[in-house]
Amino acid sequence: MGAAVRTPGGKIFSGANVENASYGLTCCAERNAIFAMANAGEREVECVTIFTPTTTVTAPCGACRQVIREFGPKATVISTGLKKARKVWTMVELLPDSFGPEDLAG
């Protein structure tokens, strides 16, 4: 699986799944792309595009949804697959009533 994120300034960062025998240590493509973006000094996601080599599209996992929400509460998420499979969501659709930095006390 692969993913790319686009910033409001048009910069694109890519990521791939990094699998691990200890599944809890695996890191999804979406998070790897966002971490590459953050490492480059960018802090806002406008759009996330995901590709899975399947005929049905795959939505981001819960951990990825939260990380996308942290950097792009209004981001668009596009999932694509084989045979032109495609689905588009907003982050509000994927993670309604979400928790973010603005909810922290302080």
Catalytic pick among 30, 44, 70, 102: 30
Residue 88's closest CA among 53, 47, 55?
47
The encoded tokens of residue 17 equal 């799944």
Active site residue 44: no
Full strand arrangement of the beta sheet holding 12-16: 12-16, 2-6, 47-51, 76-80, 86-90
Q: What whole-number distance in Å separates Cα of residue 20 and Cα of residue 65? A: 20
Please give the positions annotated as active site.
30
